Amino acid sequence: MENKTILYTVTPSDPSGHRLSVQLHIPQPDPQGQALFLPAWIPGSYLIRDFSRQVESIQACSGKRTIAVTKTGNHTWQCAPCTGPLTVDYTVYAWDLSVRSAHVDETHAFFNGTSVFLGVQGQTETACMLLLTPPPHTTDWKVYTSLPEANQHPQAATRHGFGMYQAPDYDALIDHPVEMGTPQVISFHAGGALHEMVFTGVAPNLDLERIAADTQKICATQIAFFEPDTQRPPFLDASDRYVFMTMVTGDSYGGLEHRASTALMASRSDLPVNSPAATDTSADAGYQSFLGLVSHEYFHTWNVKRIKPAVFAPYDTLRENHTRLLWVFEGFTSYYDDLMLLRSGVITETDYLRLLGKTISNVQRSPGQFKQSVAESSFDTWTRFYKQDENSPNALVSYYTKGALVALGLDLTLRHASNDKHSLDDVMRLMWERYGRDFYQGQALGIPEDAMGRLIQEACGIDVADFITRYAHGTEELPLQQLLENAGITLSWTSESSLPSLDARWRVVNGETQLTTVYSDGAAHQGGLSAHDTLVAINGLRVSAGNTIERLLRANQVGDTVNIHAFRRDELRCFAVKLNPPRLTEATLSRDEPV
């Protein structure tokens, strides 16, 4: 039988120019002319990214004959007919320092397959091979990816080596990002699987042992949560390892999940170091934030990568895939990420209540929670959530943070109604058994848009249809005060500041104070101020580094009217603003003392 396997070759050919050279070999192209495509977005980040704009050049040949390649759409190409194997050579510009795309320089190369691998129309179910070759400037680089080595191939890669890797189809090929370079690496085992932690970037004296020990606890806890009997992670049959790929910078934060790996970005200051001065073994807020990110992306191994909305089964990577269920997939994951830190023992209950209070505060600060439901936020993510502007806090709600609170509310409701016999844990396990466990065996389907109420009732025997209607599909405020009280936790509210409030946020840019958000119906809004206005003076006193807004407001009381001079563009204006009481937006949670 003639070999149909599609072969890709990737080389960081021009690190200083940030370019990858890619060759695609198609043994049996469509004789009528082979169509090619590049995904327009990457699963897990719901925005059309137009990765194809970074394809700098493309040409094709069949044997010694040049084959014409014509761009037919934003993300598609058409090759002229040919009678033999087709080879396509193209160059990808890779200078996006994010978890979504590709980034190459003299120190490393990182890429997601959605940015690099042209898909072969009509052959996406065909097996793929990937030949990784080193850059011209060094022989020291190694390879880190969860993509399995092609062990039966003559050019098979050794562990962490350049050479041949394999994927059963195109969908798998683009779901295993690749990191090349000389990172700091540590590994551990959980659930019988090797887990590698790869840190790229300048991170002196990184405490790898501590990070690995804490992450191992988190992974083991999550594996046991979904598979209490087998204690096996779901990727183990297709890949013998899981890889955490972390790019360390001065101020980054973010992550993107894959079926057996995750790409992370972390701030250097959030990571623990080996230092004589670092004697405190507790996790500070920055490190807790990093561990929460690790926990969040690992939880996605089950919830999103395998348990999916029906519209994601399979993904259509050339256009938007609308669902109203991201509050379940991102929101539930955002609820469990910190909860798994608590259950694994890497943080205390006091730490957990602080983190939960922070989530509640973030939602409380946003008037948009009363205008947009988390179901609407899920559906609109393609056009609104990832394209936020100065009015977004007034108009939008996050299906991450508000979704996490909906999950909290459901969990507390189920526990209270069943006298702690049932919880959201039962719902997650039912979702896993029915919709997730066999996903990559082709036996599972995604969750229908209207299924959550039925699933919860089946798992727990409790009707939560009204709860979902009011708080997930509606914009009513969650009754967290009462729900937490039922669980023995007190929720109290304070203000960020004791000063009279403008009900606005601002930033200082080049010594000028500019409003970034003006909250709907607040003092600044009622007084006529707008986002992007540059404040010059309050009651005749200049706003400056020495005379900050906070210092100038100190001379006033709630209810006072102050005169604010501000530039709108290059026009000086004066506004009379009546100061409001400070908003009660800061949530504090505490465990009730036993009587």
Which residue from 168, 81, 76, 65 is spatially nearest to 124, judged by alpha carbons? Answer: 168
- Residue 148, in any domain of the structure: yes
Dist CA 10 CA 145 (whole Å): 14
Positions in the chain whose pLDDT score sits under 70: 1-2, 277-283, 443-444, 594-595
Beta bridge partners of 14: 19
Domain boundary among 180, 205, 226: 180
Which letter does DSSP use for residue 329 in this model?
A: I
Tell me, yes or no, whether 525 and 457 share the same domain.
Answer: no
Tell me, yes or no, whether 320 and 451 share the same domain.
Answer: yes
Contact between 468 and 374 (Cβ < 8 Å): no
Question: Given this model, what pLDDT does residue 279 score?
Answer: 52
Question: Given this model, what pLDDT does residue 2 score?
Answer: 58
Dist CA 256 CA 529 (whole Å): 38
Tell me, yes or no, whether 456 and 519 share the same domain.
Answer: no
Say which CATH number the domain at 517 has.
2.30.42.10
Question: Given this model, what pLDDT does residue 1 score?
Answer: 34
- Residue 466, in any domain of the structure: yes
Instruction: Classify 592 as helix, strand or coil.
Output: coil
Tell me, yes or no, whether 378 and 526 share the same domain.
Answer: no
- Residue 88, in any domain of the structure: yes
Domain span at residue 235 reads 183-294
Dist CA 566 CA 446 (whole Å): 53
Query: Is pTM beyond 0.75 here?
Result: yes
Q: How many H helices and E strands in the chain?
A: 16, 28
Domain boundary among 131, 154, 180: 180
- Residue 499, in any domain of the structure: no
Sheet containing strand 102-104, strands side by side: 102-104, 108-111, 178-181, 142-144
Strands 241-249 and 261-267, by their bridges, are parallel
Tell me, yes or no, whether 394 and 326 share the same domain.
Answer: yes
Q: Is 122 exposed, middle or buried (0-12, 13-18, 19+ CB in 10 A)?
A: exposed
Dist CA 516 CA 391 (whole Å): 9
Say which CATH number the domain at 149 has.
2.60.40.3650
Domain boundary among 180, 196, 213: 180
Tell me, yes or no, whether 58 and 173 share the same domain.
Answer: yes
Tell me, yes or no, whether 191 and 287 share the same domain.
Answer: yes
Instruction: Classify 3 as helix, strand or coil.
Output: coil
- Residue 495, in any domain of the structure: no
Structure token pair of residue 243: 């890889």
Beta bridge partners of 276: none
- Residue 587, in any domain of the structure: no
Q: How many domains are there within the chain?
A: 4
- The 3-state DSSP composition of the chain as helix, strand, coil percent (nearest 5) reads 30, 30, 40
Q: Phi/psi at 485 (nearest 5 deg)? A: -60, -40
244 CB-side CA count, 13 A: 33
Tell me, yes or no, whether 336 and 283 share the same domain.
Answer: no
Tell me, yes or no, whether 28 and 114 share the same domain.
Answer: yes
Say which CATH number the domain at 450 has.
1.10.390.10
Tell me, yes or no, whether 34 and 158 share the same domain.
Answer: yes
- Residue 594, in any domain of the structure: no
| DSSP of 442-468 | T---PBPTT-HHHHHHHHHS---HHHI
- Residue 194, in any domain of the structure: yes
Tell me, yes or no, whether 50 and 151 share the same domain.
Answer: yes
Instruction: Classify 267 as helix, strand or coil.
Output: strand
Q: What is the CA radius of gyration of the chain?
A: 26
Question: Given this model, what pLDDT does residue 441 score?
Answer: 74
Tell me, yes or no, whether 243 and 205 share the same domain.
Answer: yes
Structure token pair of residue 78: 């058409």
Contact between 380 and 372 (Cβ < 8 Å): yes
